[in-house]
């Protein structure tokens, strides 16, 4: 009878369970660690450390590298990895990247099995896939399905998105586990679900292997992802632009602004250019361009395929380190409840408003505002400092649209009452 058992016998030993011990909310307050002060101030009992479950995938048996999700090991005090044969090992965090939700752990263990990365760029909707992980902490579980969609975004608004969508059952605890093809290759890292009750409803998401591999390479080398500066902002190709340049509406990204003396400017890029590919990989839109350039290490060069007035061009761009900037002030704005902002200055000039801090339980966070965002306009009215921001916010009726630079690329956030 047809069976996936032979394939799974080769694959599942490389998928591990991860137990994470996180410190309680008051762990960093030395006064609240003292029982006397607790009684004196009538403070509540100390909360015990929290234990959560996740999954991981061994990608290098010799070095003991295990890839998982950033959100699985975030704020971890201890990480324990359990292999399929029930061996347990303390793990060391090599590095983690919140932008792509990828983290790299390392364990010292003999006789490990590892999965090879497959090429997620050749996936098609309808391809069969298997999801392997530790749902609800019950132990290793295998589910099957197909690739439901590719290039999904809007799931992790503060990050780099290019998700594989699948109907293979993914539940809490599957995070960091493997999405494999029928050749037994790792083509995704399971990361999120959409489920009204917190369980599976047939819509799960995985970080594609093409993205995960690039992140892991930098985490292994630097312990972090070192994102550089491209120096241009882009937008999706609209039907009008597509007709003008003879491209499909879902192809390419249109350059709308270029920073003087930035890498894009030095390479000869111009406003109105349509970037069609990066290092031979097609660009599906401005988000895809951001994803690809955001994973290029500082100092590396990329080859861009560009259409300029219908004529194809090839350009070489070297990604540079981000220029240092200063931030003056740190204030709260009532119209952006939960956020603290300051004015960004470069070379003595005000260039926008930096979002310094956002309370995760606030309205500003729920609207999509994130630390590191630079607000450059309100309803397309330029704002160069906090005073202009406050004036612009109070001069318009709700809803508001915030024009934001996130990295090199512009996004718009709608804030409703």
Catalytic-role residue among 71, 96, 97, 373: 71
pTM assigned to the model? 0.73
Provide the mean pLDDT of the chain. Answer: 82
363-381 tens-digit pLDDT? 777 777 887 788 888 877 7
Q: Is 175 one of the annotated active-site residues of the chain?
A: yes
Catalytic-role residue among 55, 97, 101, 408: 101
Which pair of structure tokens corresponds to residue 294? 């955001």
Q: What integer pLDDT is reported at residue 44 of this predicted model?
A: 57
Which pair of structure tokens corresponds to residue 391? 């004036």
Cα torsion for 106, 108, 110, 116, to the nearest 10°? 10
Angular region, 127: left φ>0, alpha ψ -120 to 50, beta rest: beta
305-363 tens-digit pLDDT? 998 887 889 999 998 876 655 555 566 776 677 888 888 776 667 777 888 888 877 77
CA gap 194, 171 in Å, rounded:
9
Q: What integer pLDDT is reported at residue 31 of this predicted model?
A: 44
31-40 tens-digit pLDDT? 445 555 455 5
Phi/psi at 32 (nearest 5 deg)?
Answer: -75, -5
Which residue shows structure tokens 């993914």? Answer: 170
Query: 3-state class of 307 per DSSP?
Result: strand
What average pLDDT score do residues 107-119 get? 94
Which pair of structure tokens corresponds to residue 201? 């409803």
**24 pLDDT above the threshold of 60:** no
The CA–CA distances, whole Å, from 233 to 222, 254, 316 equal 27, 8, 17
CA gap 178, 58 in Å, rounded:
10
Measured over the CA atoms of residue 372, residue 377, residue 383 and residue 388, the dihedral's sign is negative
61-84 tens-digit pLDDT? 999 999 999 989 987 889 999 999
122-167 tens-digit pLDDT? 999 999 999 999 988 888 999 999 999 998 876 665 567 789 999 9
Given pLDDT bands bounded at 50, 70 and 90, which one contains residue 9?
A: very high
Q: What is the CA radius of gyration of the chain?
A: 23
Q: Out of 26-30, 139-143, 165-169, 195-199, pick the least confident.
A: 26-30
Catalytic-role residue among 175, 209, 236, 367: 175
Q: Is 101 one of the annotated active-site residues of the chain?
A: yes
CB-CB contact of 259 with 226 (8 Å):
no
Q: Mind listing the domains of the chain with CATH numbers?
A: 5-106 (2.40.10.10), 120-222 (2.40.10.10), 232-318 (2.30.42.10), 326-415 (2.30.42.10)
Percentage of residues in the chain having pLDDT higher than 70: 81
Given pLDDT bands bounded at 50, 70 and 90, which one contains residue 28?
A: very low
Cβ–Cβ contacts within 10 Å for residue 5, how many? 9
C-alpha count within 13 angstroms, C-beta hemisphere, residue 412: 12
What average pLDDT score do residues 103-130 get? 94
Which pair of structure tokens corresponds to residue 387? 């005073």
Q: What integer pLDDT is reported at residue 182 of this predicted model?
A: 94
Q: What integer pLDDT is reported at residue 413 of this predicted model?
A: 75
Quick check: bond before 126 cis, omega within 30?
no
CA gap 317, 325 in Å, rounded:
23
- Bigger pLDDT: 257 or 263? 263
Q: Is 70 one of the annotated active-site residues of the chain?
A: no
DSSP-assigned beta bridge partners for residue 142: 132
DSSP string, 153-219: -SSSTTS---EEEE-S---TT-TT-EEE-TTS-EEEEEEEE--TTSS-SS-EEEEEHHHHHHHHHHH
CA gap 12, 4 in Å, rounded:
11
In 3D, which of 110, 105, 46, 98 has the Cα closest to residue 74? Answer: 98
């Amino acid at each position: 009878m047809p069976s996936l058992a032979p394939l799974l016998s080769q694959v599942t030993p490389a998928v591990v369970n991860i137990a994470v011990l996180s410190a309680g909310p008051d762990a960093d307050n030395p006064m609240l660690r003292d029982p006397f002060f607790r009684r004196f101030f009538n403070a509540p009992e100390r909360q015990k450390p929290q234990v959560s479950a996740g999954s991981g995938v061994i990608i290098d048996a010799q070095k003991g590298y295990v890839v998982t999700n950033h959100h699985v090991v975030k704020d971890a005090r201890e990480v324990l990895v359990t292999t399929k044969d029930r061996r347990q090992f303390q793990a060391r965090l090599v590095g983690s990247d919140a932008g792509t939700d990828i983290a790299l752990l390392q364990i010292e263990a003999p006789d490990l099995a590892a999965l090879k990365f497959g090429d997620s760029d050749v996936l098609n909707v309808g391809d069969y896939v298997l999801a392997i992980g530790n749902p609800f902490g019950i132990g290793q579980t295998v589910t099957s399905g197909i690739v439901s969609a590719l290039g999904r975004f809007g799931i992790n608004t503060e990050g780099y998105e290019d998700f594989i969508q699948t109907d293979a059952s993914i539940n809490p605890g599957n995070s960091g586990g493997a999405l494999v093809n029928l050749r037994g290759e790792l083509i995704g890292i399971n990361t999120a679900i959409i489920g009204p009750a917190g369980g599976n409803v047939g819509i799960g998401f995985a970080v594609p292997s093409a993205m995960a591999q690039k992140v892991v390479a930098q985490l292994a080398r630097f312990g972090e992802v070192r994102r550089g500066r491209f120096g241009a902002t882009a937008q999706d190709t609209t039907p009008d632009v597509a007709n003008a340049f003879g491209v499909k509406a879902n192809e390419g990204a249109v350059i709308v602004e270029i920073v003087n003396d930035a890498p894009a400017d030095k390479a000869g890029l111009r406003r109105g250019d349509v970037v069609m590919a990066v290092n031979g990989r097609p660009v599906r839109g401005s988000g895809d361009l951001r994803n690809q350039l955001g994973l290029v290490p500082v100092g590396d060069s990329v080859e861009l395929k560009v259409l300029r007035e219908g004529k194809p061009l090839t350009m070489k761009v070297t990604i540079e380190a981000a220029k240092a900037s200063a931030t003056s002030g740190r204030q709260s704005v009532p119209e952006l409840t939960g956020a603290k902002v300051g004015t960004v200055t470069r070379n003595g000039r005000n260039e926008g408003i930096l979002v310094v801090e956002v309370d995760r339980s606030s309205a500003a966070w729920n609207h999509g505002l994130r630390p590191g965002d630079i607000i450059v306009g309100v309803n397309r009215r330029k704002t160069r400092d906090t005073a202009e921001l406050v004036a612009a916010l109070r001069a318009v009726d709700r809803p508001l649209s915030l024009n934001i630079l996130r990295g090199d690329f512009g996004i718009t956030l709608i804030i409703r009452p």
